[in-house]
Amino acid sequence: MHSRGGHGLVLTLPRLQRERGMRMSRLSTMLRTQRFDDYRFYHQSTVNQTLHLLSAVIFLGCYALLFRDPALAGLVGWLAMLTRQTGHFFFEPNGYDSVNDVSNDYKEAVKVGYNQTRKIILLLVWGSAPVALYAFPSLFGLFDPPVSRLDFVRHVGTLWLAIGVSGGLARMLQLFATRDVATGLVWVFKVLTDPFHNIALYWNSPLKLLRGELIDSSIATADWGRDDAEEAPHLT
């Protein structure tokens, strides 16, 4: 009995290791796919890329402040977010995507994260936060009434931080329901590590912009494991 049990354990461990390796490989592939599609579909403008580079540096400052001064981290984080979204809304091409041979409607439909409609809703909530705090200074008991402008600004920063975290969690839960748990978790990991990845990916975008290259020509030949790329086949 003991010997057979021992053999069973020996046989089970390699299988568990293989299964764990396969799961990790699948998650790695999903992350690469999400990043590649995000790059080729939604970051073709070198102005947008440059703003993402700036935003990424600001986000690193937000991370450094997060546990030391959450209110200030909220203010800095949304400065980074507005820098990022300026690139998307004003500089990224919104017409037919000839590089990838798809329409803008298609790209909006298959986007894993926040497409433009979701972003507009999130930005409306973000913009309403200072108005709500001005109308209800304690926000129904969540804050002590501010005694100075600085107190008010810090309350806004805290509320903005809560909105940012809630927005990420809400989209993650939505992905759990509409796709699968793995997609949601990978997307959250991607978002949290985007500042580091953006710096590595877009460090030379300002140089391209200075050369007059408004659209990143390297996207047409980019290949990050193209067989696994494109978000559309993963829709459920």
Model confidence over 130-165: pLDDT tens digits?
999 999 999 999 999 999 999 999 999 999 999 999
Instruction: State pTM to two decimals.
Output: 0.86
DSSP string, 2-52: HHHHHHHHHHHHHHHHHHHHHHHHHHHHHHHHHHHHHHHHH--BHHHHHHH
Among 34, 38, 134, smallest CA distance to 84 is for 38
Crossing angle between the packed helical segments 149-178 and 181-202, to the nearest 10 degrees: 120
The first and second tokens of residue 79, run together, are 């400065």
How far does Cα 68 stand from its chain's mean position? 23
Angle between helices 149-178 and 116-135 (to 10 degrees): 150
Q: What is the pLDDT of residues 100-111, one digit of tens each?
A: 999 999 999 999
